[in-house]
């Protein structure tokens, strides 16, 4: 896998417009955490604060050292103008004492240099460890002393509820380790990935916390200071925060990041279906079946091995055309309807080789179930 090596550069201009928050399977470091907010010492220290203020103060004190600033630089050679340097900036999250940093792939994709600045102002050149285009996640590495690295503590995003209070820490507009707060506005949102050619990232957390350029790769935290997501995007026409931000949940990070650290990439199961078409099949009784018509199968792929049928190329009057009359129509995978191709890939992308999935297929006037073991 390709690796990028980044010399030490500190870039002052900022150019990245979105935020993502992710979590990874890293040991908790309880020794770095302050006392719980109901402890006598903490309450005495901030006795003048309202209880809700003590919560936000503690979250920041607990977690701000775990969020880093990432400065990047791209260099272009432009005719007539010569060499042009384009700076960028984003955020990252400390994963462990070994120097692994979690961020969004779009923060560091195709850059010539990246520098990580810690809470103490010290900066270190970064190297790429692994990336995943589908989830827009990346892990980079810095050679920093363990005593200045404060790994984040992870939470369980599968237990989140709409209306919960959350906090975001990042580096909007280069303003390091900025805290904003808000609510979980919705769950299980989806939006196109910036790094995967239009494929969608699913299961996103929607929040109304202020997210701005430079927040990408920063932390989304619950009221206990646990990482529940990585801020990845905002919905905005102007490029500024309109109170609609999105974060990749920690359950996705926990699945992806260990593979990035160990292998540099993510291993996913391959079903062997190369091309589908979104159609609605009209039935003789007036019913309609929306699904994915299989146009092309990979030769000797998993789907072909299990007997799934694609279209055929036939010659008519010297020309080739696709005959879809005998092609299977996929109605669902693992019980999840497949009205769009993205519905199908979202399920398959979460599987690993040797996993078995069951497809609901319409064939010759009836619905059958076809189990497929992924390659």
Which residues are catalytically annotated? Answer: 106, 136, 216
Q: Residues 181, 166: contact at Cβ < 8 Å?
A: yes
Q: Residues 210, 85: contact at Cβ < 8 Å?
A: no
**For residue 281, what are the contacts with CB-CB under 8 A and spacing of at least 6?**
288, 289, 290, 291, 329, 362
Q: Residues 179, 91: contact at Cβ < 8 Å?
A: no
Pick from 14, 27, 13, 5: which is nearest to 254 by CA? 27
Rounded to 10 degrees, the C-alpha dihedral 18/236/342/189 comes to 90
Q: To which residue do tokens 């809700």 refer?
A: 52
């Amino acid at each position: 896998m390709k690796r990028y090596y980044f010399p030490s550069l500190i870039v002052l201009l900022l150019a990245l417009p979105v935020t993502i928050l992710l979590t990874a399977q890293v040991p908790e470091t309880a020794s770095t955490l302050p006392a719980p907010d109901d402890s006598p010492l903490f309450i005495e220290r901030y006795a003048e604060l309202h209880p809700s203020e003590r919560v936000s103060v503690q979250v920041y004190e607990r977690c701000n050292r775990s969020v880093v600033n990432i400065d990047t630089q791209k260099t272009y050679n432009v005719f007539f103008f010569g060499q042009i340097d384009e700076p960028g900036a984003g955020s990252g999250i400390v994963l462990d004492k070994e120097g692994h940093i979690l961020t969004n792939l779009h923060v560091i994709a195709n850059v010539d240099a990246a520098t990580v600045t810690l809470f103490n102002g010290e900066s270190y050149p970064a190297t790429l460890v692994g990336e995943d285009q589908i989830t827009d996640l990346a892990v980079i590495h810095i050679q920093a002393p363990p005593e200045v690295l404060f790994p984040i503590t992870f939470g369980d995003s599968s237990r989140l509820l709409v209306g919960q209070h959350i906090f975001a820490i990042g580096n909007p507009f280069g303003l390091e380790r900025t805290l904003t707060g808000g609510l979980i506005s919705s769950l299980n949102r989806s939006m196109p990935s910036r790094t995967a050619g239009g494929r969608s990232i699913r299961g996103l957390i929607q929040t109304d916390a202020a997210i701005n350029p430079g927040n990408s790769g920063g932390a989304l935290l619950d009221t206990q200071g646990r990482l529940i997501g990585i801020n990845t995007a905002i919905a905005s026409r102007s490029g500024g925060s309109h109170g609609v931000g999105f974060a990749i949940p920690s359950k996705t990070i926990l699945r992806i990041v260990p593979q990035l650290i160990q292998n540099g990439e993510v291993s996913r199961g391959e079903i062997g279906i190369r091309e589908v078409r979104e159609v609605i099949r009209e039935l003789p009784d007036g019913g309609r079946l929306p699904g994915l018509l299989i146009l092309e199968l990979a030769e000797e792929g998993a789907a072909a091995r299990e007997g799934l049928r694609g279209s055929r190329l036939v010659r008519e009057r010297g020309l080739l055309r696709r005959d879809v009359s005998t092609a299977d129509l996929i109605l669902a995978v693992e019980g999840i309807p497949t009205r769009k191709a993205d519905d199908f890939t979202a399920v398959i992308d979460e599987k690993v080789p040797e996993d078995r999935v069951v497809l609901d297929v319409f064939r010759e006037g009836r619905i059958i179930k076809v189990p497929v073991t992924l390659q």
